[in-house]
Structure 1
Amino acid sequence: MNGTTRLPDSPCTHTPRCPSASSPAAEAARVVAGHPEQGWSLLCNAVVVFDDTGELLPDGRVIAPHRPFAITT
């Protein structure tokens, strides 16, 4: 064991169930702990989403921010 704790893919217990962390619709899960003052929220499927659109998945993988670029003229 490496000293880290792996969260379940989806601890969701309500109906209908939220999309799992591995689903393309993972960001549609309900917020269970919002911290807008810190710029992040924990979703029901154990995904942490950040204001910059980055994500931390339950297995420790990181999804880089994917905010669209602003168009400048």
Structure 2
Amino acid sequence: MCQHMPACPKADQSDRDAAKRMARDDISGWTLLCNGVLLFDDTGELLPNGTVIAPHRPLACERGAA
């Protein structure tokens, strides 16, 4: 699928979100990456094989933690 040089990470690799953007819908809140991954604004993902990756937002730091 990817024609970029160097090739973008494949959908089954851990760095799949680093692939180049191919399409974006700001109203629906998704981005289609060139590896076929749909990346949602809430950080959830839908992989080309139908696997759903739950949102994985960073945890907020607690105030006063040492």
**Residue 69 of structure 1: how far off its partner (Å):** 2.9
Higher relative contact order (Cα pairs below 8 Å, separated by 6+ residues): 1
CA-atom RMSD in angstroms:
1.2
Give unmatched runs, 5+ long, in structure 1. 1-10
TM-score (norm 2): 0.87
The equivalences for 1:1-73 within 5 A come to 11-71=1-61
Q: Identity across aligned pairs (percent)?
A: 54
Structure 1 residue ranges, 4+ long, deviating more than 6 angstroms after superposition: none
Looking at structure 2, the residues matched to 72 and 36 of structure 1 have their Cα atoms a distance apart, in angstroms, of: 31
SS at 1:12's partner residue?
coil
| TM-score of the aligned structures, taking structure 1 as reference length | 0.79
Task: Tell me how far 1:70 sits from its aligned partner.
Answer: 2.9
Instruction: For 1:46 and 1:63, locate their aligned partners in 2 and report how far apart those are by CA, in whole Å.
Output: 14
CA distance in 2, matches of 1:43, 1:35: 12
Q: What number of residue pairs does the alignment pair up?
A: 63
Unmatched tracts of structure 2, length 5 or more: none
